[in-house]
Amino acid sequence: MVSLGLEDKVIVVTGGNRGIGAAIVSLLTELGAKVAYTDINIDEQNNQALGIKADVTDITSMEEAARTIKEKLGTVYGVVANAGITRDNFFTKLTTEDWDAVINVNLKGVVNTVKPFMEGMYEQNEGSIVCISSISGDRGNAGQTNYSATKAAVIGIVKSLARECARYNVRANAIAPGFINTEMTKAIPDKVKDKITAEIPFRRFGEPEDIAWAVAYLLSPVASRYVSGEVLRVNGAQHT
Ligand code: NDP
């Protein structure tokens, strides 16, 4: 019997209350990891995981979450920076607030998520960081200049971080999902959805579980131990 080697590994997932984050939390607990998740709202406590109210835009709240996780579960091995938002509009219509909100959650939020756990990973000489980017960061998308900019930035972060932290046996990778069925994509008008679906060779949106399995692979100290600084595209063959 082979395993991904995630049993008893302490892993934190941001934005784990719903959508892709909730699917990641579920799969990782099934794989035997000790999972903590953070979110601005914790609706219903997932009994198998530790839910903590924390805002990724607030470094103090993330540092506090890191202390709680260490105290209750132990030193963190895996960090999944998943929390993200959209404030879509055409470039000429995007406001400064739309830019700030998206940069604060999707870019600074990733930094605030990863930083509090680095020291622990360096000390234990083992760790895996997975940041959720997007197809929009990879190839761009009309109406998403702010979002695409932050998702491209995340790719820059993991590529540099991968080079920086390899000597500590810590890896950093990104996943660029295509269009996935969650609350985020529910907001897309049906007409636009049909147009997008026609461009996806699989002719359907992906499911949150499709991303969760990619996360599990990149977290695995067995399956992806020599993979770092990589962008894994999970998009039903909707490449650039
Ligand atoms: P959802 O909107 O369904 O879920 C996002 C989660 O993040 C929510 O639980 C939300 O909380 C939480 N969140 C929002 N802001 C913060 C914050 N400041 N601090 C902590 N948590 C926060 O999105 P998805 O599950 O669809 O997306 C997850 C990730 O995947 C995002 O980074 C997104 O950009 C990325 N992605 C999604 C794609 C898709 O098609 N769905 C495609 C490509 C990438 P609350 O519910 O309270 O708002």
Q: Which residues line ligand 1 (CB under 6 A)?
A: 14-15, 17-21, 38-41, 55-57, 82-85, 105, 109, 132, 134, 177, 179-180, 182-185
Model confidence over 37-63: pLDDT tens digits?
999 999 877 679 999 999 999 999 999
Q: What is the DSSP letter of 40?
A: S
88 Ramachandran zone, left/alpha/beta (phi>0; psi -120 to 50): beta
Taking CA atoms only, the protein residue closest to ligand 1 atom 34 is 84
Residue 108 has pLDDT above 80, yes or no: yes
Counting residues of the chain whose pLDDT is more than 90, the rounded percentage is 95
Token representation of residue 48: 């198998």
223's CB contacts (< 8 A; 6+ apart) are 4, 5, 217
Evaluate if residue 144 carries a pLDDT over 80: yes
Given a cut of 90, whether residue 98 has pLDDT beyond it is yes
- 204 found inside a domain: yes
Span 99-118, average pLDDT: 98
Whether 240 has a pLDDT exceeding 90, the answer reads no
Q: How far is the CA of 17 from the centre of ligand 1 (A)?
A: 9
Q: Looking at beta carbons, which pairs linking 54-60 to residues 24 or more positions away fall under 8 Å?
A: 54/14, 56/14, 56/15, 56/81, 56/83, 56/105, 56/108, 56/109, 56/110, 56/112, 56/113, 57/104, 57/105, 57/108, 57/109, 57/112, 58/112, 59/112, 59/115, 59/116
> How many other CB atoms are there within 10 angstroms of residue 151's CB atom?
28
Parent domain of 55:
10-234
Assigned domain for 214 exists: yes
pLDDT at 239 (0 to 100) = 83
Distance 84 CA to ligand 1 centre (A): 4
Q: Judging by DSSP bridges, how do beta strands 34-39 and 50-53 pair with one another?
A: parallel
Catalytic residue among 37, 77, 147, 168: 147
Q: Which residues pair with 10 in a beta bridge?
A: 34
2 in any annotated domain: no
Q: How many domains does the chain have?
A: 1
The whole-number average pLDDT for the span 145-159 is 98
| Phi and psi at residue 145, to the nearest 5° | -60, -40
Can you tell me the mean pLDDT for 121-146? 97
The per-residue pLDDT for 103 is 98
State the chain's mean pLDDT as an integer. 97
Per-residue confidence (pLDDT) for residue 60, from 0 to 100: 98
State the distance from the centre of ligand 1 to the C-alpha of 132, rounded, in angstroms: 10
Tell me, yes or no, whether 3 lies in a domain: no
Interatomic CA distance for residues 61 and 40, integer angstroms: 10
Residue 1 domain flag? no
In DSSP notation, 113-173 reads HHHHHHHHHHHHT-EEEEEE--HHHHH--TT-HHHHHHHHHHHHHHHHHHHHHGGGTEEEE
Residue 47 confidence (pLDDT): 76
pLDDT value of residue 45: 72
Is residue 178 in some structural domain? Answer: yes
* pLDDT one-digit tens code per residue, 179-226: 999 999 998 899 999 999 999 999 999 999 999 999 999 999 999 999
Q: How close is the Cα of 124 to the center of ligand 1, in Å?
A: 30
CATH code, domain with 45? 3.40.50.720
Question: Candidates 17, 20, 108: which one to mutate for ligand 1, based on the most atoms within 8 Å of Cβ?
Answer: 20
Answer yes or no: 77 catalytic.
no
| Identity of the residue numbered 215 | V
